[in-house]
Structure 1
Amino acid sequence: MNARKLPAWPYPFWIAHRGAGRLAPENTLAAFRLGAQHGWRMFECDAKLSSDGVVFLLHDATLERTTDGAGSAGARPWGELAQLDAGSWLGRAWAGEPIPTLASVARFCLRNGYHLDIEIKPTPGLEAATGHAVAALAARLWQGAAAPPLLTSFQPAALAAAAQTAPQLPRGLLLDALRDGWLEQARQLGCVAVVCQHALWDAGTVGQVRAAGLRALSYTVNDEWAAERLIRLGTDGVVTDRVDLFSPA
């Protein structure tokens, strides 16, 4: 099967994981700024909903690992989440760094010409609601932008809600295993990309994705040998923590 001619891809190959990987507190504006200082122009982040409907950045379902809070992040209103320290866990230099809203990250990216990969990371049970909220907000914030954010998720229900809410925004299905029907599911969700754990890609899977007219992206690529393998396979992007190792140029 011959691969389809793919439409132009507006995003850089190199994507900084959670802002600046492990060099700054993940999913904070400090991490985005540090990644930008290293020359990175596209960033990945995790977005979820507060109990009162504010879209904010956090990876985990709970607050303990990356803030001084405790319990379910999605069970707290934004007024409480905004008061938490999301930096001290990584060191005193980051003390007092707040959890950002997606809106504040959007302003940073839009004013500086940066691209964003927003992973929809719902609190369990809020997959559709989070997909809807993230897509609606992203559509409003990036209205008229030349390169809107790429919306990705491991949760098909979140991507389906995003597609229903803002079908014009590009979407990518995240996979940690090639389960039965993975490619057909990506197509049914109207995705433009499949984003796999990097070891899952080989010439055959890249060929399948390309034949379907989709792009092949990888996470989380922190070794030079792995990045070189993905480049040889002709993939379209890698998400990495190692903003200090790889040159995004």
Structure 2
Amino acid sequence: MTFPRWIAHRGAGKLAPENTLAAFRLGAACGYRMYECDAKLSADGVVFLLHDATLERTTNGQGLAGNVAWSTLSRLDAGGWHSRAFAGEPLATLESVARHCQANGHWLNIEIKPTPGLEAQTGRAVALEASRLWADDPAHAPFLTSFRPDALMGAREAAPDLRRGLLLDSLWDGWLEAAIRLGCVALVCNHALWDASTVALARGAGLRTLAYTVNDEWAAERLLLLGLDGIITDRVDLFAPVD
């Protein structure tokens, strides 16, 4: 798995409205060549970018996002909550983000963020859409991650050639075995979970090591000393994305 070490969280961290094309453009302007984003399904099966299960925090919509058709979602303001400069910025589809990444030769880490109860279905749909969108650019094929093993299993069934990683916010019982069983190539952990022992366990299983969300210099220095393969950050204005 050869990706840039520095990864811009949700496009450009907190400097632009997360998961929008405006954020990806700003991340690129800061020199980043790889981005993390969150993908889920609309009620009519369109893969689009949104972190939360509900619309209120980052749009002017209301309710469970997965219950809304894309024709309605596409008209929402996903930028005004952030600042006036981004008012009117729409939600992004995975297809529009793929076009941006391919035009720039950049990479994407897609976190599968299913509406509760739709884990496997969302994993399959995101993987199939990603496989279709990057069919002519396999060198930049996206890296799929999720906290939900069922979503990763769905992705594996639909597009086994796409690389996968298990997200962890705690070291629950069987985490390493689950990553191996799911055919993952990497673990993506809360940065506080990484130490010499967990790095050794991951590498002993042939897994790459990535950390989220790293916004302080002391934390980045600690992880670099541990030799982590990837660092996901909001601070695209602080960290120069050098490998």
TM-score, with normalisation over the residues of structure 1? 0.96
Counterpart position of 2:41: 49
**Contact 1:220–1:241 (Cα < 8 Å) also in 2:** yes
Distance 1:234 1:23 in 2: 27
Specify the alignment match of 2:171 in structure 1: 178
Pair 1:138 & 2:112 matched: no
Give the match's secondary structure for 1:232: helix
Q: Note the 1:167-206 alignment, pairs <5 A.
A: 167-206=160-199
Matching of residues 68-147 of structure 1 within 5 Å = 68-144=60-136, 145-147=138-140
Letter of the 1:107 partner, please give it: R
**Aligned equivalent of 2:157:** 164
Measured on the aligned residues, the alpha-carbon RMSD in Å equals 0.6
* Structure 1 range deviating more: 135-144 or 212-221: 135-144
1:111, distance to aligned residue in structure 2 (A): 1.1
Is 1:153 aligned to 2:146, yes or no?
yes
Give the conservation status (yes or no) of the 8 Å contact 1:17–1:44: yes
* Poorly superposed stretches of 4+, deviation over 4 Å: none
Asked if structure 1 preserves the Cα contact closer than 8 Å seen for 2:49 and 2:94, the reply is: yes
* Count of aligned residue pairs for this structure pair: 241
Alignment partner of 1:159: what SS? helix
Give the equivalent residue in structure 2 for 1:3. none
Match of residue 217 from structure 1: 210
User: 2: distance between equivalents of 1:232 and 1:61?
Assistant: 36
Report SS of the residue matched to 1:31.
helix
Q: Look up the match of 1:6.
A: none
- Give the partner amino acid of 1:12: P
Corresponding residue for residue 246 of structure 1: 239
Contact 1:47 1:121 in 2 (8 A): yes
CA distance in 2, matches of 1:141, 1:66: 26
Give a deviation string over 1:58-94, Cα, whole Å, max 9, x none. Answer: 0000000000000000000000000000000011110
What is the deviation of 1:143? 1.2
- Structure 1 vs Structure 2: percent identity of aligned residues? 69
Counterpart for residue 230 of structure 1: 223
Write the letter of the residue equivalent to 2:85: A
Task: Give the AA of the match of 2:178.
Answer: Q
Given that 1:10 and 1:147 are in contact with CA atoms closer than 8 Å, whether structure 2 keeps it comes out as no
Structure 2 runs not aligned, ≥5 long? none
TM-score, normalisation: structure 2: 0.98
What's the CA shift string for 1:6-31, capped at 9, x where partnerless? Answer: xxx31000000000000000000000
Give the Å deviation of 1:147: 2.7
Tell me how far apart the structure 1 counterparts of residues 224 and 95 of structure 2 sit (CA, whole Å).
33
